Amino acid sequence: MPPDDDVRLRHLVDAAETAIRFTAPRTRADLDSDEMLTLALTKLVEIVGEAAKQVTDETRQALPDVPWSAAARMRDRLVHHYFDIDLDVLWSTIQVDLPALLAVIPSPEPER
């Protein structure tokens, strides 16, 4: 795997794990009342998608079970439709999709 992809996967994993951790003590209703939480989670999911977009074809082919395009599309939706984010979809992405994504990504090399 190209070294830059290790960095991108580390960013992806870190952002996904952080989003999951931030929501662990929370409920979906918290997104309606906590703007800071919503903005933080939106940014973390954007990072996941941006990292997925930047991974090389070599790594995409080596990890075919990773939903690369779905992660990238979610990022695009959040960035380009920032005025109309469906908080139910954001919550589901973090609760369902990110754990599934982490399950198919190998642990990235530790940062040196």
Catalytic residue chosen out of the listed positions 75, 77, 81, 112: 75
User: Which residues touch 23 (CB under 8 Å, ≥6 apart)?
Assistant: 41, 91, 94, 95
Q: Is 75 a catalytic residue?
A: yes
Q: Which of 11, 80, 81, 112 is catalytic?
A: 80
Q: Is there a catalytic annotation at residue 11?
A: no
Residues with a catalytic annotation lie at 75, 80
